[in-house]
């Protein structure tokens, strides 16, 4: 599912990892606790498959810390939860959310009323591949382009696909803001699309890609910071979820990509925690669970 680009030889002679990811928006959670329950249930299923000796069936909310108390083999352990996140990307998500909100408003005002089943992908050129703001007039240009798509008859899917002659907009593309935003219709379904919050509301999907260079050193430092923030009395174990949806329903697949790369050559933490006995890393989208620290077991299995 993931295909990060690794370029050897950064400024300090280290690898530079440049994941190019699609971002998904699902329905938001009611609150942080509801999100944590979703993360815990995902981990519960994943660990059962990968490390059945650490599986558990019973859990209850803890005293914070820990977030939860889990029962495993008759023994109760305090489990803290946290997320591995790329802060800069999370800020850029707000920009994408603004685009999605404008699209929803157009649908509600009937300006866009025939894009059901259409999948549109955005990329960003002059914005450096990492958008966080754009002028309102450029966004309006983009909305106008979407409105024009509604006048293109979708028609039946031809047997011999030819984008140049197709009577429906698959393959159609354009740019706005003097190249700041490039859009392309990448898919078409005879049925309304479902999945993200936008698709569930409108029947069509809008996604985008952004470039974000980083390094193994930076990724590991961010992972260590997650651990340090949760290494407190009251918690025995820590669950770190990567690529998981946040309270607003946003999933950043680059967070999963970065950690998958690092786990392939994982050599252990630079600094062992003082209170946490065991640390799990649950990587969404890859269906992988790693044990990156286990003070109770000398031979840590991170495969």
- The average pLDDT across 120-135 equals 70
Q: Where are the beta strands (DSSP E) in 99-244?
A: 118-124, 173-176, 181-188, 205-211, 214-215, 237-242
Whether residues 77 and 95 share a domain: the answer is no
Distance CA 39, CA 240 (A): 9
Among 11-25, 56-70, 74-88, the range scoring the smallest mean pLDDT is 11-25
Whether residues 68 and 110 share a domain: the answer is no
Phi, psi of 144, deg, nearest 5: -65, -35
> Do 188 and 157 form a contact (C-beta atoms < 8 A)?
yes
pLDDT per position as a tens digit, 30-74? 999 999 999 999 999 999 999 999 999 999 999 999 999 999 989
pLDDT at 250: 85
Whether residues 96 and 206 share a domain: the answer is yes
Check whether 13 has a pLDDT greater than 60: no
> Do 83 and 114 form a contact (C-beta atoms < 8 A)?
no
In-domain check, residue 20: yes
Whether residues 78 and 48 share a domain: the answer is yes
Can you give 29-87 as a three-state secondary structure string? CCCHHHHHHHHHHHHHHHHHHHCHHHCCCEEEECCCCCCEEEEECCEEEEEEEEEECCH
Among 36-50, 97-111, 128-142, 183-197, the range scoring the smallest mean pLDDT is 128-142
- Termini Cα distance of the chain: 18
Strands 58-61 and 181-188, by their bridges, are unpaired
pLDDT per position as a tens digit, 245-262? 999 898 888 889 889 989
- Tell me the pLDDT of the chain averaged across its residues: 82
Whether residues 166 and 106 share a domain: the answer is yes
Is this model's pTM higher than 0.75 or not?
no
Among 20-34, 59-73, 176-190, 288-302, the range scoring the smallest mean pLDDT is 288-302
> Do 146 and 139 form a contact (C-beta atoms < 8 A)?
no
- Provide the residue range defining the domain that includes 22: 5-86+214-294
Structural domains counted in the chain: 2
Whether residues 158 and 256 share a domain: the answer is no
In-domain check, residue 301: no
- The average pLDDT across 20-39 equals 86
Distance CA 248, CA 171 (A): 31
pLDDT per position as a tens digit, 226-247? 999 999 999 999 999 999 999 9
Distance CA 96, CA 261 (A): 26
Determine the length of the chain. Answer: 303
Helix (H), strand (E) at residue 261? helix 253-263
Whether residues 19 and 165 share a domain: the answer is no
């Amino acid at each position: 599912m993931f295909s990060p680009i690794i370029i050897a030889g950064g400024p300090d002679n280290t690898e530079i990892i440049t994941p190019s990811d699609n971002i998904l928006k699902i329905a938001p959670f009611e609150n942080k606790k509801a999100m944590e329950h979703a993360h815990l249930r995902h981990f519960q299923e994943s660990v059962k498959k990968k490390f059945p000796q650490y599986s558990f069936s019973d859990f209850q909310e803890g005293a914070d810390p820990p977030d939860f108390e889990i029962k495993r083999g008759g023994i109760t352990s305090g489990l803290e939860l946290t997320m591995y996140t790329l802060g800069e990307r999370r800020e850029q998500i707000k920009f994408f959310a603004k685009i999605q909100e404008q699209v929803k408003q157009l649908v509600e005002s009937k300006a866009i009323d025939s894009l059901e089943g259409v999948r549109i992908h955005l990329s960003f050129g002059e914005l450096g591949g990492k958008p966080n703001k754009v002028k309102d007039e450029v966004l309006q240009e983009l909305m106008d382009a979407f409105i024009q798509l509604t006048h293109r008859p979708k028609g039946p899917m031809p047997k011999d696909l030819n984008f140049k002659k197709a009577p429906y907009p698959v393959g159609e593309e354009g740019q706005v803001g003097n190249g700041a935003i490039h859009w392309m219709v990448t898919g078409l379904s005879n049925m309304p699309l479902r999945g993200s919050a936008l698709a569930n509301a409108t029947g069509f999907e809008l996604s985008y890609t952004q470039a974000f260079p980083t390094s193994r050193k930076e990724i590991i430092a961010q992972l260590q910071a997650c651990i340090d923030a949760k290494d407190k009395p009251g918690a025995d174990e820590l669950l770190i979820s990567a690529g998981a949806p946040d309270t607003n329903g946003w999933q950043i697949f680059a967070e999963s990509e970065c950690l998958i790369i690092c786990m392939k050559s994982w050599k252990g933490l630079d600094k062992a925690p003082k209170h946490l006995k065991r640390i799990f890393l649950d990587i969404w989208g890859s269906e992988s669970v790693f044990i990156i620290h286990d003070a109770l077991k000398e031979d840590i299995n991170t495969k």
